[in-house]
Amino acid sequence: MSEHGALYVYALLPDREGAADGVTGLDGRPVRLLSVPGTGVAALVHDAEAAPYQGDDEQVRRWVGEQSRAVTAVWERTGSLLPTTFNVLVAGGGPDADGTGEERTAEQRLTDWVTEQAPRITEQLGSLAGRCELRVEVTLDRTAVSAPDTTGADTGVGNSRSAGMRRLLAKQQENNSRQRAEQLADSLHAGLRRRLLSVAEELRDRGRAHRAPQETDVLSAALLVRGDDIDAVGTVLSELQAEQPAVRIRFLGPWPPYSFAEIPEGHGSPAARQGR
Amino acid sequence: MTADQGPLRPTRDPRVTLDDLVEVLLNKGAVLHLDLIVAVADIPLIGVNIRAALAGMETMLEFGMMRNWDEATRAWAERSARRRGIDLREGESAVCRMSGGHLLTGGVYTGWRPGTVHLTDRRLVVQRDEPREILWQAELGDVRAVRLEPERTVGGEERLRLRVALADGTEELLSAQEPEKLHARLTEACAGRLDAAFPFTPAVEEERLLEGHLWFHEPRRGGPLWRGGQGRLIGSALVWKSPVDSRPALVVRTADITAVEWSAERSPTGDGGVFTLRTADGGEVRLAAGDPETWMRKLDVSRPSLPHPLPLKTG
């Protein structure tokens, strides 16, 4: 690659010869390991132009699918890696961090950085070895939860009401059922969280779940789980489904530990602080 | 459904997981050092999708989250923030505009989409600035009611949102840098056209007997962890929620509490702030507070004296 080229970085991983053999990344480009001598760490990269990947939503989805496939394939061979986000590009030739004005290639810059960060990267790789990420999303289908509220709103009197009033009452009823679902969701969340925490090593709340309009969020979390505990999480979820038929469960994975890959903070980089 | 009660199996089927992967890969993963990033047209990218970066920076600027960013990045974001406006129709005039966003619901993605809220004498518009796109808009003639609503953000802060009810019975939620101002201007602009009241009343909450900072000793696989959060004692339950969780991690029905015990052990509040709730199913919940006596007293009072089930709350 020319000195003005860049490296598209997929992951940092233990340096295992052959781990990237035959794997392709974005747009079918072959990926390779950039070994960082003396650290036991390698970066999974492809040679790229110094420009980010941009495109419409469909295009980005396709690239993300390709990135995820490449990272997952290599992760399954090495048992541990730190995946990077989409569009992590290391450019060559930029100003030297030391201010000496000397230009470095992308490989040199990435190698220098990995060398400097190696203790933290190695520690993080060790703590994630043999672990995977699972995604659990639970919602509550309100139509399957609440008995309809029959406080005169939909009795015979309703027929004589104006369209506006009927709409208003329907809204009110929807609101009541939403409120009952909120309370149920709170207690289901507390119980499910407790059971998941007894199995998973870490749980990160992810805020809002994907859900249909008639559903209420219960829990949306990324779990860090040992490979042989995946079934234990599955058992917690199937028990929940049996206890509360109105819950809808999405259970995704196992993935490389995307949500647990941040490199512990070193000397105050704004990017690291921002990522918290 | 079969009668099989075996463990649920996770799926990797890309048809199911791709949306989640898109979200995770645009937002998660290791972030490399700032020195390494590529600068494109003086926009530094820290491993984020360029469109996400563009949309997100303005929000970060608005909420003062970019204090730590270098001057160049901030200057760029501020320049871009100034470059905004909407295409007015003939005879339409702008009333006010401010940073804000629209809550997208109902589709594959649910979430806040940041941009600029524009109020004109005809429309309410939320527009993404870069690339420029109208995220949501409504004719003022279709606005039936507007209301300010408090919402707790992920960080635990309470922020006012603007709820807008439309003639077709739908509702939308907007965020705005100055929600009160937007509410006032919008109400003025719709003068005489709005319904007297919002079509439905806000949810009625149970009376709060006690509310305040409370530590919860959350049981975990690797051993329990003291977590700080907000405790709330209402008539029927004790609820504890951390500002970083989306829902409470603890809901104990007061009817299930069999004992409230003092314990002299160390906690984040120092010595002796710890008390334990014992529950009917044999469980115990460890909590700590700066004023444990108040919590213990109120908890004791709130317990129904007779072992009868609590009446179900209706409406």
pLDDT at A91: 77
Q: How far is A18 from chain B (nearest CA, A)?
A: 23
Residue B192 reports pLDDT greater than 70: yes
Q: What does residue B194 show for φ and ψ, rounded to 5 degrees?
A: -80, 150
- The shortest CB-CB distance from A271 to any of B12, B34, B109 is to B34
Which residue among B5, B31, B38 places its CB closest to the CB of A50? Answer: B38
**pLDDT-based confidence at B253, cuts 50/70/90?**
very high
Question: Residue B197: is its pLDDT beyond 70?
Answer: no
Residue A139 in this model has a pLDDT that exceeds 70: yes
CATH class of B89-189: mainly beta
Task: With cut-offs at 50, 70 and 90, classify the pLDDT of residue A89.
Answer: confident
Q: Whole-angstrom Cα distance, residue B80 to residue B67? A: 17
Q: What is the dihedral of CA A115, A120, A121, A124, to 10 degrees?
A: 170
Q: Which residues pair with B134 in a beta bridge?
A: B127
**Are A197 and A203 in contact, with CB atoms under 8 Å apart?**
yes
Alpha carbon distance, N-terminus to C-terminus of chain B: 33
pLDDT digits (tens, 9 = 90+) for B143-191: 988 888 877 665 556 678 899 988 887 889 999 988 888 998 998 888 7
Nearest chain A residue to B70 by CA distance is A270
Would you say B66 and B59 are in contact if contact means Cβ atoms under 8 Å apart?
A: no
Q: Contact at 8 Å (CB) between A90 and A106? A: yes
Distance CA B124, CA A252 (A): 39
Mean pLDDT of chain A: 84
Question: Which residue of B28, B109, B232 is the best one to mutate when testing the A interface, meaning the one whose CB has the most A CBs within 10 A?
Answer: B28
pLDDT at A67 over 90: yes
Task: For residue A8, give the chain B residue with the closest CA.
Answer: B47
What kind and span of H or E run contains A32? Answer: strand A32-36
- Reduced to 3 states, what is the DSSP secondary structure of residue B65? coil
Q: Is the pTM of this model over 0.80?
A: no
What SS3 state is found at B159? strand
Domains B89-189 and B208-301 are alike in CATH topology: yes
Give the whole-number percent of chain B exceeding pLDDT 90.
31
**Complex-level ipTM:** 0.80
Q: Judge whether B106 is closer than 8 Å to chain A, CB to CB.
A: yes
Token pair for residue B93? 């005039």
Q: For domain B208-301, say whether CATH 1.10.357.10 is its number.
A: no
Beta-carbon separation of A197 and B31 below 8 A: no
d(CA B118, nearest CA chain A) in Å: 26
Decide if B72 touches A, using CB distance below 8 A.
no
Probe site for chain B from A80, A85, A188 (most B CB atoms < 10 A): A85
Question: Do A84 and B20 lie within an 8 Å CB cutoff?
Answer: no
Enumerate the domain spans of chain B: 17-84, 89-189, 208-301
Over the range A44-69, which residues count as b (16 or more CB within 10 Å of their CB) and which as e? bbbbbebebbeeeeeebbebbbbbbe
